[in-house]
Amino acid sequence: MVVYFDGKYVDSSEAKVSVFDHGLLYGDGIFEGIRIYGGNVYRLDDHLERFEMSARAIMLTLPLTRAQLAEAVCETCRRNNLNDGYIRLVVTRGVGDLGLAPWSCANPTTFVIASKITLYPQEYYDNGLAIVTVPTRRIAPDALPPTVKSLNYLNNILAKIEAKQAGALEAIMLNAQGYVAECTADNVFVVQKGEIITPAASAGALKGITRATVFDIAKELGIPMREADLTRYDVWCADECFLTGTGAEVIPVVKLDGRVIGAGKPGPVTARVLGSFRKRVLVEGTRI
Ligand code: PMP
């Protein structure tokens, strides 16, 4: 496998980050998870825009322009003959000394991995996921903006472990006020009386690219959609529930904490969104 690493395309065995890299020592860095479908990188510009905003938010000067980042992403796919897969773009603060201070890091470290991902087996797309609410809360937006896609995922990882302990593959994380924020790596949506509702970024949700796609799909299909605070009650009493993410795509949820949601099987609105999503990913995107 060929990896883009600081301006060079190298074999993955040579793509090595220093033990002094602050991305590793402190989680000081940002990333994007991007999909390629049929040779088209899905919503690359949107991903790069979010990436630039993450960089700005943590005062990290990106070493590459948007066009250069796009080229690194596309070229990494080309060099791996990857037409369908998952791309990870990472920029860390770089190599520094053992203190926290980011200004000890002279140059950011940049790498791009183009590979494959399967988050959930097909049966869950057909029959829906059973998820749980976990005790670990989403970090408050005033502590770390959830809109920053940073290398600090420990909070979500603890939630993922709690989900596994409870026998579930994904977990709803609440914010400090007890409202639904998102799942460990996915945005969450409910369908109530024909309307799609999802938590806002201010409630702790990442502004997902797939989430933005659902807004577009809802508009196109004439399905009302809005952001609102959601409690667990809203999920228990929803007609349908589904999750979205670059890795997970659109996946139905049929149970929360052992309670059946709606009819207990993937619902019609979820099916329409998923159908439209599958069509869009094949035609929208940047040709590599
Ligand atoms: N929330 C979190 C915490 C995430 O890490 C992700 C990305 N997997 C998402 C939501 C979904 O965002 P996107 O659709 O941009 O992948």
Give the pLDDT score at 118: 85
Average per-residue pLDDT in the chain?
97
Local confidence band at 119 (pLDDT 50, 70, 90 cut-offs): confident
Statement: residue 186 has pLDDT above 90: yes
Statement: residue 93 has pLDDT above 90: yes
Structural tokens at position 224? 């009302």
Q: Report the 3 state secondary structure along 204-246.
A: CCCCCHHHHHHHHHHHHHCCCEEECCCCHHHHHCCCEEEEEEC
Catalytic residue among 16, 149, 219, 255: 149
Mean pLDDT for 217-236 is 97
pTM: 0.97
Statement: residue 249 has pLDDT above 90: yes
What is the whole-number distance in angstroms between the Cα of residue 49 and the centre of ligand 1? 15
Nearest CA to ligand 1 atom 8: 185
Q: Is 254 left (phi over 0), alpha (psi -120 to 50) or beta?
A: alpha
149 is catalytic: yes
pLDDT in tens, 37-80: 999 999 999 999 999 999 999 999 999 999 999 999 999 999 99
Q: Of 110, 115, 120, give the one whose Cα is nearest residue 86.
A: 115
Domains of the chain: 2-115 (3.30.470.10), 122-280 (3.20.10.10)
- Residue to mutate (ligand 1; options 144, 186, 216; most atoms within 8 A of CB): 186
Statement: residue 262 has pLDDT above 90: yes
